[in-house]
Amino acid sequence: MALFHSSRLVSPCLASLSARASSWWAHVEMGPPDPILGVTEAFKRDTNSKKMNLGVGAYRDDNGKPYVLNCVRKVEAQLAAKNLDKEYLPIAGLAEFNKASAELALGDTNEVIKSGRYVTVQSISGTGSLRVGANFLHRFFKYSRDLYLPKPSWGNHTPIFRDAGMQLQSYRYYDPKTCGFDFNGAVEDISKIPEQSVILFHACAHNPTGVDPRPEQWKELAAIVKKRNLFAFFDMAYQGFASGDINRDAWAVRHFIEQGINVVLCQSYAKNMGLYGERVGAFTVVCKDAEEAKRVESQLKILIRPMYSNPPLNGARIASAILTSPDLRKEWLQEVKGMADRIIGMRTQLVANLKKEGSSHNWQHITDQIGMFCFTGLKPEQVERLTKEFSIYMTKDGRISVAGVTSGNVAYLAHAIHQVSK
């Protein structure tokens, strides 16, 4: 009887232990929060009317509002009027979109395009393109598992390539002393990379620093890559959005190809067409000849099929219509230049307002850098003060999204930065 009584007493506890032990996921730990999403959550909770969110990597107009391009709205109306179906795309995506993407990146008169020695597949924006590329390298790049990233690089590069089975290494890129490009450090490191390794470059508007090599520096980097027989992997998420000129922003990619370097390339239409949620991207492999391109395409399809079967339809239709219609393309080029010019203008105004505040620091790096992001050079404790005292939110490394700066808040931002940095 006593035994029976004691078992009844402990049974709830045993039941709890048993339930925990029987859970398939008892061993799963809570993962760390995303640093950028954390910034946004804190921003939302803040009640200060002057608060600023400089963490998010999405374009905003001068009123701080999300912006949908007029050419995109026009295409959406055209597509709605056509009453099109919603059938699956082929595994490689929308053929006319793929062709237009390759021509946009490489130039429609490029020898690669004319000879057909390339393959382009539609992907799920830039991230999906990178993951397809990473998986392709892991399966078919037999020479090395090592992939060299610039230091720093976009935060998602590391998990994308690591989860695909690549071994991550780095080369010097950003110089915190000058808030600019560490050209000598990059040359020294790249010159020592083992032959037949993979090296990743940001084609333009380096994320997170906004620091890009100049054309003459790109030429030297290409010469080293060729000499060392390295495999060049380009990530181009900002063509047109960086400088406002699609050809200038694609210059590095085209130069490497001109030098006989067969690259792979990831593209995204999130920033330059504002198609963030449509998830529109492309992955291109430049091959030795058209026959090799066909073999590569066949294997890319085999990789993609179990990943997501086929890519989304709507965004590719929009991008394709804009790229292939002369009138829409002209309007897009004007609009993307308008977005780029607003970002460049905000950089200039921020520096001017810092001078007006009486700051004695050299802020030239803010205007030297390009694209959506700026590495301000602010230290973590200064970033913390900006948040606590001024309700200005950014990541701890001092990176700001210049898209969050407007003519209405740039003076307030300059004042706050001066207060924490003087």
Amino acid at 60: R
Active site residue 235: yes
Residue 11, pLDDT score: 56
pLDDT at site 3: 47
Residue with tokens 């991008």: 319
- Of 237, 262, 233, the C-alpha closest to 250 is 237
| 154 counts as catalytic | yes
Number of C-alpha atoms within 13 angstroms, CB side, residue 330?
3
Residues 212 and 202: their CA atoms lie apart, in Å, by: 8
Predicted pLDDT at 146: 97
Short-list 288, 127, 137, CA closest to 199: 137
Q: Which amino acid is at 207?
A: N
Among 182, 212, 218, 271, the active-site one is: 271
Q: Which residue has the tokens 């090296």?
A: 199
Q: Strand order of the sheet with strand 280-286? A: 118-124, 280-286, 264-268, 231-236, 198-202, 146-151, 167-172
CB 60 within 8 A of CB 406: yes
The CA distance from 410 to 64, in Å, is: 12
Q: Take residue 307 and report the two structure tokens written for it.
A: 């990943």
Q: Within 10 A of 9 (CB to CB), how many other CB atoms are there?
A: 8
End-to-end Cα distance, the chain: 79
- 271 catalytic per annotation: yes
User: For residue 253, what pLDDT is reported?
Assistant: 98
Return the pLDDT at 369.
Answer: 95
Distance CA 303, CA 31 (A): 28
* Dihedrals phi, psi of 166, to nearest 5 degrees: -85, 155
So what's the pLDDT on residue 4?
Answer: 45
Buried b (16+ CB within 10 A) or exposed e, 243-265: bbbbeebbbbbbebbeeebbbbb
- Answer yes or no: are the C-beta atoms of 240 and 340 closer than 8 Å: yes
- Cα(55)–Cα(404) distance, integer angstroms: 8
Q: What is the pLDDT along the chain (422 residues), one digit of tens a residue?
A: 444 444 445 555 555 555 556 899 999 999 988 877 788 888 999 999 999 999 888 999 999 999 999 999 999 999 999 999 999 999 999 999 999 999 999 999 999 999 999 999 999 999 999 999 999 999 999 999 999 999 999 999 999 999 999 999 999 999 999 999 999 999 999 999 999 999 999 999 999 999 999 999 999 999 999 999 999 999 999 999 999 999 999 999 999 999 999 999 999 999 999 999 999 999 999 999 999 999 999 999 999 999 999 999 999 999 999 999 999 999 999 999 999 999 999 999 999 999 999 999 999 999 999 999 999 999 999 999 999 999 999 999 999 999 999 999 999 999 999 999 98
Catalytic residue among 182, 212, 235, 249: 235
Nearest to 115 by CA among 284, 286, 296, 267: 286
Determine which one of 154, 218, 332, 363 is catalytic.
154
